[in-house]
């Protein structure tokens, strides 16, 4: 049986500098989908000049950030001393744990001739016991993201987080979670069975698609009911389409979100701000600015 749609909505503009950003989650209907509590869509754009400003250094606590770069080159710095770049198709994952400061800069991919940039940032809520752990970091290049060609060369699926059949992402799972990028050629279809009580949503970044016999527009976020059932994605266009499908088991602990922090109580939010202002999250040391 096919799953029913709970609601659909579009994001609100939340631009940073020259980046055109749509805030998809949280929205007026949902605060979370499984462990995912935040999604920004950095819309496709032809970038003519190098971005030197980035997002600027800012703190996080209680979550893991996940940046998925469809097109471009993303550079990461953090106060734990991590620094890396990933290119088109790559992922930056950072467990903020008990507190960290990071900075990311998205530019066009220096390894290709394309000036196109296009990306997503997710926040993954951590279980309370993991929120107290030290930060961790992974940089995963596109070639290392698990990928499988669909039957009949009708498209492919990438497993950004979680697992699918024999594919497993290197990103740690602290609860049931999945994040897939599904690419369907013209006229193709793909279906997936979702277990009972699983929270799941789809996002259509650039093209319309048919989800369980209903047509949704580009830019729509679609959440489904929590009953066991099938999600069928169909492409009736004359070009390929992309769908981001994500979710997982419900987060059962309290969710208190304020600014860059997601904790389990208002007291923990106050502690997060106090520790940040006390300098306990450290400081980013950018290359060339190291102490002698």
For the chain, give the mean pLDDT.
95
Q: If pLDDT is split at 50, 70 and 90, which confidence band does 150 have?
A: very high
Do the strands 189-194 and 229-234 form a parallel or antiparallel pair, or are they unpaired? antiparallel
Structure tokens that stand for 222 in this block: 């679609």
Using the 8-state DSSP alphabet, how is residue 166 labeled? Answer: T
Provide the pLDDT for residue 289. Answer: 67
pLDDT of residue 292: 47
37 within a domain of the structure (yes/no): yes
Q: Is residue 77 part of a domain?
A: yes
pLDDT at 290: 61
Does 290 reside within a domain?
A: no
The answer to whether residue 282 sits within a structural domain is no
Q: Which domain holds residue 95?
A: 5-277
Which of 49-63, 127-141, 159-173 comes out lowest in average pLDDT? 49-63
Strand order in the sheet with 100-107: 58-60, 100-107, 73-78, 83-87
Look at residue 289 and tell me if it is in a domain. Answer: no
- Asked if residue 119 belongs to a domain, the reply is yes
* CATH for 99: 2.60.120.10
Q: How many residues does the chain have?
A: 292
- Alpha-carbon distance of 95 to 108, in angstroms, equals 25
- pLDDT tens, 9-33? 999 999 988 889 999 999 999 999 9
Q: What is the pTM of this model?
A: 0.95
Least confident of 10-14, 16-20, 221-225, 242-246: 16-20
Residue 172 makes CB contacts below 8 A (sequence gap 6+) with 95, 136
Q: How many structural domains is the chain composed of?
A: 1
Q: How far is CA 112 from the centre of its chain?
A: 23
Closest CA to 171 of 213, 124, 114: 124
Residues whose CB falls within 8 Å of the CB of residue 282, separated by 6 or more in sequence, listed in order: 79, 80, 100, 101
Answer yes or no: is 137 within a domain: yes
Cα-to-chain-centroid distance, residue 262:
16
pLDDT tens string 80-98:
999 999 999 999 999 999 9
Strand partners, 147: 158
Whole-angstrom distance, CA of residue 165 vs CA of residue 98:
33
- For residue range 102-131, what is the model confidence (pLDDT) as tens digits? 999 999 999 998 999 999 999 999 999 999
- By the 10 Å C-beta count (0-12 exposed, 13-18 middle, 19+ buried), 211 is classed as buried
End-to-end Cα, the chain, rounded Å: 65
- Rounded CA-CA distance 26/75 in Å is 25
Does residue 188 fall inside a structural domain? yes
């Amino acid at each position: 049986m096919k799953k029913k749609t709970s609601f659909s909505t579009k994001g609100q503009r939340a631009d940073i500098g020259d980046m055109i950003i749509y805030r998809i989650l949280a929205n007026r209907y949902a605060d979370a989908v499984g462990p995912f509590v935040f999604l920004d869509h950095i819309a496709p754009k032809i970038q003519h000049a190098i971005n030197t400003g980035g997002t600027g250094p800012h703190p996080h606590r209680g979550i893991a950030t996940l940046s998925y770069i469809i097109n471009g080159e993303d550079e990461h710095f953090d106060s734990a001393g991590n620094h890396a770049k990933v290119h088109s198709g790559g992922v930056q994952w950072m467990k903020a744990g008990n507190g960290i400061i990071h900075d990311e800069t998205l530019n066009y991919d220096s390894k290709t001739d394309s000036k196109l940039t296009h990306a997503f940032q997710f926040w993954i809520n951590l279980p309370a016991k993991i929120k107290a752990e030290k930060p961790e970091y992974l940089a995963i290049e596109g070639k290392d993201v698990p990928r499988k060609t669909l039957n009949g060369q009708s498209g492919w699926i990438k497993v950004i987080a979680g697992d699918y059949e024999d594919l497993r992402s290197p990103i740690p799972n602290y609860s049931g979670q999945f994040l897939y990028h599904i690419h369907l050629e013209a006229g193709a279809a793909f279906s997936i069975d979702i277990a009972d009580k699983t929270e799941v949503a789809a996002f259509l970044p650039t093209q319309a698609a048919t989800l369980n016999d209903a047509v949704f527009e580009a830019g729509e976020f679609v959440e489904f009911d929590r009953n066991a059932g099938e999600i069928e994605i169909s492409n009736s266009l004359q070009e390929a389409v992309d769908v981001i499908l994500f979710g997982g088991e419900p987060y059962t602990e309290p969710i208190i979100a304020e600014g860059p922090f997601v904790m389990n109580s208002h007291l923990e939010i106050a502690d997060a701000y106090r520790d940040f202002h006390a300098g306990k999250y450290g400081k980013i040391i950018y290359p060339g600015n190291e102490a002698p």
